[in-house]
Structure 1
Amino acid sequence: MTELLGIPPQLLFGQLLLGLINGSFYAVLSLGLAVIFGMLNVINFAHGALYMTGAFVAWLLLSYLGIPYWAALVLAPLVVGLLGILLERTMLSRLYKLDHLYGLLLTFGLALIIEGLFRNAYGVSGQPYPIPSWLQGGFNLGFMFLPVYRGWVVLASIVICFGTWFLIERTRLGSYLRAAVENPQLVRAFGINVPLMMTLTYGGAVALAGFAGVLAAPIYQVNPLMGQQMIIVVFAIVVIGGLGSIMGSIVTGLGVGVIEGLAKTFYPEGSATVVFVLMAIVLLLRPHGLFGRTRT
């Protein structure tokens, strides 16, 4: 098929791999956004900046403390999650009963502040982060070359995404979270600390962004603009999948990445806008997104 179209199979599968890698980051980031909006009813525009913070924390741990990648994969999300808890307790918790616009403006301002701090400290030139030795090299599959690290990124992202989905949709803790959104007074009557639950939910969701940042550090150079370049596409993916839909964010994130890879092969000029074209079509046909439901 590819030979009939004049496209070498290696090029097609290589672009599909790149698309799947991008889709993995889209899925993890949009998952965090969906959790925050679905559980806290907040549009978190600071998500891209926290993704960048996760990458920078991993780089700082390696550069100044000699802490390697595998430890950073645990420590960096914890640091970002604690930062998220601090932001939620001091700022966001005051806005839950207000219009969405207030949360959007606050988180947009926080994103500018975080990016500005890192830009002033390290400039806009990227900082390299080495691929860990265990994940260097690759496999020749015949029709394409698969780098080990990129395969690891896809696998880790899928495990994290579906693990989060299972936690929220199939466990008792997840049922408490969903009940706290629908009827917080009833959940409090059972002795559950709803504000603490909301705080930990926000911290866990932004920790996902920090985890994605660590995964991205060896692929993309660590720089203050990396989150800014990602967040608009991720918001479009959340809208396509359905605001607050966890499964919608996962499936749409991976799917959009693959579609982008195909677009770069067959129509490179349109690859940067394909996600927004998809968003427009979905909103025309299904205003609540592919997996979304009306919010009452």
Structure 2
Amino acid sequence: MAFFLDINLFALFGQLLIGLINGSFYALLALGLAIIFGLLKIINFSQGALYMLGAFAAWMGLNYLGLNYWWALILVPLAVGAFGIVLERILIRPIANEDHLYSLLLTFGIALVLQGLFTQWFGSSGLSYAMPEELKGGTRLPFMYLPNYRAWIIVFSLVVCAGTWFMIEKTRLGAYLRAGTENPHLMQAFGINVPLIVTLTYGFGVGLAGLAGVLAAPVYSVSPDMGSNILIVVFAIVVIGGMGSIGGAIFTGLAMGIVEGLTKYFYPEASNTVIFLVMVLVLLIKPAGLFGKEA
């Protein structure tokens, strides 16, 4: 009983809010990784760099072109997705039939190049991005103060994740995507342009990283290191949920954000490693992940 009396509800719910915000970014990035691996069998280690690219594109659009947040939210994911399509057509497609290790090394190299270029251009210190006027301020709840922009991140990310899951799992377009990657020769016999499906799927997956970057820009400082700091955590989340599991990536991303937030309150020293500890436990019990299918 004394333990519960010592709990500071304002601090606890504050950490839960931070956990949900981090979990929203984890879910978006893990969803993109799960789509690319689950449908294309490509281990995309450049996802973190493309997340960083989305944040920088929003910052440059605002400071150089006067592009506000709402336009950036639409145009930046399209631009990052288009950049991903160029990468897929020029660099990734030639090794598509090789071992997965080749795509991992290639995308890791792309990430290092992008991070190095932006460090050279902008330095390693963070840049601030203005929060949209419409989402400034917050609401005082009985147990916490809820900033409007933080609430927007959580709600918008959930809508995007749910819409993406529905499109892939419940629509005819999603059926074409799954069939085109599982049996491309049969789909081509029916007149479906499978290479185009592969390219657009990769572009969509990296576009989600760009979208997460725009959402993160007003919250975190925009820096070349922001992608590398989050990528390893996101890969651990994808492994926990099950490689290629769309629903698993979304659920696990949000859940691990909450677990991380709770750990920061009860035992801060373990907050940076708790996700990796969960990954180890899951792999020991269910090697395919919580929602993955056994080979």
Q: Please classify the TM superposition score into its range, dividing by the shorter chain length.
A: over 0.9
Give the stretch that moved more between structures: 4-13 or 60-69.
4-13
Tell me which amino acid in the other structure corresponds to 1:150. Answer: R
Task: Please give the secondary structure, in 2, of the residue aligned with 1:4.
Answer: helix
* CA distance in structure 2 between the aligned counterparts of 1:195 and 1:12, rounded to whole angstroms: 49
Q: Tell me, yes or no, if structure 1 residue 136 matches structure 2 residue 157.
A: no
**Residues 260 and 271 of structure 1 are in contact (CA less than 8 Å); yes or no, is this contact kept in structure 2?**
yes
* CA distance in structure 2 between the aligned counterparts of 1:2 and 1:131, rounded to whole angstroms: 41
Aligned to 1:121: 121
TM-score (norm 2): 0.99
**Residues 2 and 8 of structure 1 are in contact (CA less than 8 Å); yes or no, is this contact kept in structure 2?**
no
Query: Structure 1: any 5+ residue segments left out of the alignment?
Result: none
Alignment of 1:1-296 (within 5 A): 4-295=4-295
**Residues 282 and 289 of structure 1 are in contact (CA less than 8 Å); yes or no, is this contact kept in structure 2?**
yes
Q: 1:53 to 1:71 in 2, by over 3 A?
A: same
* CA distance in structure 2 between the aligned counterparts of 1:208 and 1:288, rounded to whole angstroms: 24
Tell me which amino acid in the other structure corresponds to 1:256. Answer: M
Overall identity of the aligned pairs, in %: 61
Per-residue CA shift, 1:214-258, capped at 9, x if unaligned?
A: 000000010000000000000000000000000000000000000
Task: Please give the secondary structure, in 1, of the residue aligned with 2:146.
Answer: strand
* CA distance in structure 2 between the aligned counterparts of 1:141 and 1:29, rounded to whole angstroms: 30
* CA distance in structure 1 between the aligned counterparts of 2:177 and 2:32, rounded to whole angstroms: 15
* CA distance in structure 1 between the aligned counterparts of 2:171 and 2:119, rounded to whole angstroms: 41
* CA distance in structure 2 between the aligned counterparts of 1:252 and 1:131, rounded to whole angstroms: 28
Task: Please give the secondary structure, in 2, of the residue aligned with 1:91.
Answer: helix
Tell me which amino acid in the other structure corresponds to 1:154. Answer: I
Task: Please give the secondary structure, in 1, of the residue aligned with 2:139.
Answer: strand
RMSD across aligned C-alpha pairs, in angstroms?
Answer: 1.0
Deviation at 1:96, TM superposition (A): 1.7
TM-score (norm 1): 0.98
* CA distance in structure 2 between the aligned counterparts of 1:253 and 1:204, rounded to whole angstroms: 19
- Displaced runs of 4 or more, over 4 A: none
Deviation at 1:4, TM superposition (A): 2.3
Deviation at 1:5, TM superposition (A): 4.9
* CA distance in structure 1 between the aligned counterparts of 2:163 and 2:205, rounded to whole angstroms: 13
Tell me which amino acid in the other structure corresponds to 1:67. Answer: L
Count of paired positions: 295
* CA distance in structure 2 between the aligned counterparts of 1:96 and 1:176, rounded to whole angstroms: 19
**Residues 115 and 225 of structure 1 are in contact (CA less than 8 Å); yes or no, is this contact kept in structure 2?**
yes
Task: Please give the secondary structure, in 2, of the residue aligned with 1:139.
Answer: strand
Tell me which amino acid in the other structure corresponds to 2:84. Answer: G
* CA distance in structure 1 between the aligned counterparts of 2:94 and 2:167, rounded to whole angstroms: 27
Query: Structure 2: any 5+ residue segments left out of the alignment?
Result: none
Task: Please give the secondary structure, in 1, of the residue aligned with 2:4.
Answer: coil
